[in-house]
């Protein structure tokens, strides 16, 4: 078992969630529920699945939850790119979050590699 609160991967995923929540608060009311609800759920899923995996008793279970977290990170990246395409937000607001998500994606990938050794 790992203490998830000591993992840089979890901490950075929490930072992504905070950034996404701040961004979605700027969306108009008509879009706030539609896409922002899905984005917030995906953002929450990343650190939540890292934490849940760390609480499991075996490395295969941890890897399973890291796979889910990684999937949520890619889902969220796609949703942010969609926000750019439909002009729901501007690149200046989206790009820092995308960069942070890509960093989290690499951290998750590296964590998975370290477990598989």
Angle between helices 8-24 and 59-85 (to 10 degrees): 30
Stretch 58-70: mean pLDDT:
96
Residues 6 or more apart in contact with residue 11 via CB below 8 angstroms:
5
CATH number of the structural domain spanning residue 96: 1.20.1440.60
Indicate the pLDDT class of residue 1, thresholds 50, 70 and 90: low
Instruction: Quote the tokens at residue 101.
Output: 């998500």
Stretch 60-77: mean pLDDT:
97
User: In terms of residue numbers, what domain contains 73?
Assistant: 4-116
Q: pLDDT tens across 9-60, in order? A: 999 999 999 999 999 999 887 766 788 999 999 999 999 999 999 999 899 9
Cα separation, 34 vs 47, whole angstroms: 22
Q: What angle do CA 85, 79, 109 make, to 5 degrees?
A: 125
Q: What is the pLDDT of residue 28?
A: 82
The number of folded domains in the chain is: 1
pTM of the complete model? 0.94
Cα separation, 97 vs 115, whole angstroms: 27
Specify whether the CB–CB gap between 68 and 45 falls below 8 A. yes
Mean pLDDT over all residues of the chain?
94
Q: What is the pLDDT of residue 63?
A: 97
């Amino acid at each position: 078992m790992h203490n998830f609160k000591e993992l840089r991967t979890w901490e950075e995923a929490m930072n992504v969630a905070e950034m996404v929540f701040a961004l979605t608060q700027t969306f108009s009311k008509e879009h706030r529920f539609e896409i922002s609800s899905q984005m917030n759920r995906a953002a929450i899923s990343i650190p939540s699945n890292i934490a849940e995996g760390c609480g499991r008793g075996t490395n295969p279970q941890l890897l399973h939850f890291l796979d889910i977290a990684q999937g949520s990170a890619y889902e969220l990246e796609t949703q942010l790119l969609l926000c750019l395409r439909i002009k729901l937000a501007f690149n200046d607001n989206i790009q820092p979050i995308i960069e942070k998500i890509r960093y989290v994606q690499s951290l998750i990938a590296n964590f998975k590699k370290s477990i598989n050794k």
